[in-house]
Amino acid sequence: MKNKFEAVIFDLDGVITDTAEYHYLAWKQLSEELGIPLDREFNEKLKGISRMESLEIILAHGDRQNDFTQQEKEELATKKNAYYVELIKQITPDDLLPGILAFLKELKEAQIKIAMASMSKNAFTVTNSLGVMEYFDHIVDAATVAKSKPDPEVFLKAAEAISVSPENCIGIEDAAAGVTAIHDAGMYSIGIGDEKTLGHANTVLQSTEQLDLKTITQLYQTSK
């Protein structure tokens, strides 16, 4: 049996809070202005993907990838962010997903390190509004990450900052690209959501409510 894990590295959007929905609404508003249809199924492709890369995926989907200069693309991304920033103004501690606060408290008490690996440049603002900043030993600044998920960079940066080797970390993600990033970082992965999109995770839980120390310790220690 494996030793105990030493750290949990959380994704933000879709794991700690449901900002994934706000990202979707903001992209939908922008894409409607561009005459590109966007639905929830297509939106799955954008989860965990950086702002500029998400825009490229949407433009390609509408066959409009060659219609804009780089500067115009940057303006479009800024516009989407303005819609998003407006939506996240409503966030309060009530927007923590079920079970997350209790889980953070449990980890803290057990002296397990806690970090965040989000691609969002709004991660600090959102975490602050949720009132859980004090639980995190480190939050990776997305502006310092060169390669978006599914690249493992953001998870490796988080582990390095808290001085825990990747094999002693558990990563938690709601996005397919995020689960791939955790694997390629050499960590144990827990997917939150649908088995169909997250089947490559070591474990899939339907809801954050199922996250507790006893369960994940058992899952991690009995894994290969």
**Active site positions, annotated:** 11, 13
Instruction: Candidates 5, 7, 8, 11: give the one binding Mg ion (CB under 5 A).
Output: 11
Residue 201 to residue 161: CA distance in whole angstroms: 24
174 binds Mg ion (CB under 5 A): yes
> Which residue's C-beta sits nearest to Mg ion?
14
In the complex, minimum distance from the CB of residue 153 to ligand B16, in angstroms, rounded to a whole number? 12
Cβ distance to ligand B16 smaller for residue 118 or 202: 118
> Is position 153 an interface residue for Mg ion (rule: CB under 5 A)?
no
* Distance from C-alpha of 105 to C-alpha of 68, rounded to nearest angstrom: 47
Give the nearest distance from C-beta 146 to ligand B16 in angstroms: 14
Q: Is the separation of the CB atoms in 45 and 91 below 8 Å? A: no
> Who contacts 204 (Cβ-Cβ below 8 Å, separation ≥6)?
190, 191, 192, 193, 194, 195, 198
Out of 8, 13, 177, 198, the residue judged to bind Mg ion by CB under 5 A: 13
Round to whole Å and give the CA distance between 135 and 114.
7
The residue ranges that bind ligand B16 (CB under 6 A) are 11-14, 20, 23, 46-51, 54, 81, 118-122, 142, 175
Tokens, residue 172:
């938690």
Q: Which is nearer to ligand B16, 79 or 214 (CB)?
A: 79
What angle (nearest 5°) sits at the alpha carbon of residue 220, between those of residues 215 and 224?
Answer: 145
Total chain residues near Mg ion (CB under 5 A): 6
